[in-house]
Amino acid sequence: MGWRGILGFDFGIVQAPLGPDISGPELVAAVANSGCLGFLRAPDWEAPDHLRELIRKTRTLTDKPFGVGVVLAFPHAENIKAILDEKVAVLQVYWGECSQDLVLQAHRAGVKIVPQVGSFDEAKKVVDVGVDGIIVQGVEAGGHIIGREGLITLLPRVVDLVRDRNIPVIAGGGIVDERGYVAALALGAQGIVLGTRFVATDESYAHPTYKKKLVDLERTAYTDVFGRARWPGAPHRVLETPFFQEWRNLPSDENESNQPVIGYSTIHGVEKEVRRFAGTVPNATTTGDIESMAMYASAGVGLINEIIPASEVIKRLVEGAQSLINKQFAA
């Protein structure tokens, strides 16, 4: 049955790590307290002490297990050491090599390791180094997108790849409600990962204007307009805000490095300038021209109609999937 758990959690629902700090302790604890796997997001720079604080703060809000996500494209050795020292339940990695050594380090610390991949070839590589689960990201996903393939074609191939290996496959990209959940199960996934749906919750650390736009707007675009200097060659899916529509054809030699400062954000305890075309979404501390900042969003954003608690997102997914399967697919 589709609402069974994965990796020791009650339910097969995962809240993606949401950079740079949108999935903070409040969101992750709310997800953990609902029986699901939530991921904090490690800073994009070495900040092991701050990361330990985030993990410990989360532990004051829940006694359930949770995980941390690390983007391997940025400095991370000290952060990973802190995560393993703290023995969180699961380490999620993305955008970089999930090496055998990293898997061994995690396992020695008693931490499960689950990479997010965007292609069949990448899936093959991580299966061979002994990961504990695979997150398959379709091109429908909000945020950065590592592959080019749609979930409906990529997912069953990865499911077939691991058929005899007892590695759970978790599907992400465009899943917002119980229909997406059941569709992913039909394609062979054991779990689902949602990013954008969890940005639009009470507990996420996103700026209220960003949350409101996720409810109000319906269209997204696959683009490379934002964050070209800091994270080159990293396409992403964003909301088609009026700002994005005006600048969607930004010449390829332009990037955020020589643009005006349009606001300020405190990110993981550090105050940062936000330049026009920066790849950082507005968080709860951001001031300035919020409407002109990047707003990552799922191709499924048109299905998000209200900001609700994370526990309610999970309740609707679990009960909705149960009822959908019983009513429409049971014999």
DSSP state of 329: I
For ligand FMN, the closer of residues 28 and 281 by Cβ is: 281
Count of residues binding ligand FMN (CB under 6 A)? 29
For ligand FMN, the closer of residues 232 and 251 by Cβ is: 232
Q: Does 199 bind ligand FMN (CB under 6 A)?
A: yes
Q: What are phi and psi of 253, to 5 degrees?
A: -90, 5
Rule CB under 6 A: choose which of 6, 7, 22, 91 binds ligand FMN.
22
Q: Are the C-beta atoms of 298 and 173 separated by less than 8 Å?
A: yes
d(CA 137, CA 79): 24
Q: Does 220 bind ligand FMN (CB under 6 A)?
A: no
The DSSP line for 185-213 is HHTT-SEEEESHHHHTBTTS-B-HHHHHH
Q: Does 19 bind ligand FMN (CB under 6 A)?
A: yes
DSSP state of 75: -
Alpha helix stretches (DSSP H) within the chain:
25-33, 48-61, 77-86, 100-108, 120-128, 151-161, 178-186, 196-199, 208-216, 242-247, 310-324
Rule CB under 6 A: choose which of 25, 38, 147, 173 binds ligand FMN.
173
Taking residues 311 to 330 in sequence order and writing x for each that binds ligand FMN by CB under 6 A, - otherwise, the string is --------------------
Task: State the nearest-atom distance from the C-beta of 52 to ligand FMN, in Å.
Answer: 19
Rule CB under 6 A: choose which of 6, 7, 18, 134 binds ligand FMN.
18
Nearest Cα neighbor of 187 from 224, 217, 157 is 157
Q: What are phi and psi of 265, to 5 degrees?
A: -140, 140
Task: State the nearest-atom distance from the C-beta of 190 to ligand FMN, in Å.
Answer: 16
Pairing of strands 261-267, 270-275: antiparallel
What is the strand order of the sheet 270-275 is part of? 270-275, 261-267, 287-288
d(CA 84, CA 91): 8
Which residue, judged by CB position, is nearest to ligand FMN in the bound state?
195
Rule CB under 6 A: choose which of 6, 7, 13, 16 binds ligand FMN.
16
Q: Does 41 bind ligand FMN (CB under 6 A)?
A: yes
Task: State the nearest-atom distance from the C-beta of 18 to ligand FMN, in Å.
Answer: 4
Task: State the nearest-atom distance from the C-beta of 63 to ligand FMN, in Å.
Answer: 25
Task: State the nearest-atom distance from the C-beta of 279 to ligand FMN, in Å.
Answer: 10
Residues of this chain that interact with ligand FMN (CB under 6 A) are 16-19, 22, 41, 69, 71, 94, 116, 137, 140-143, 172-175, 193-197, 199, 281, 296, 298, 300
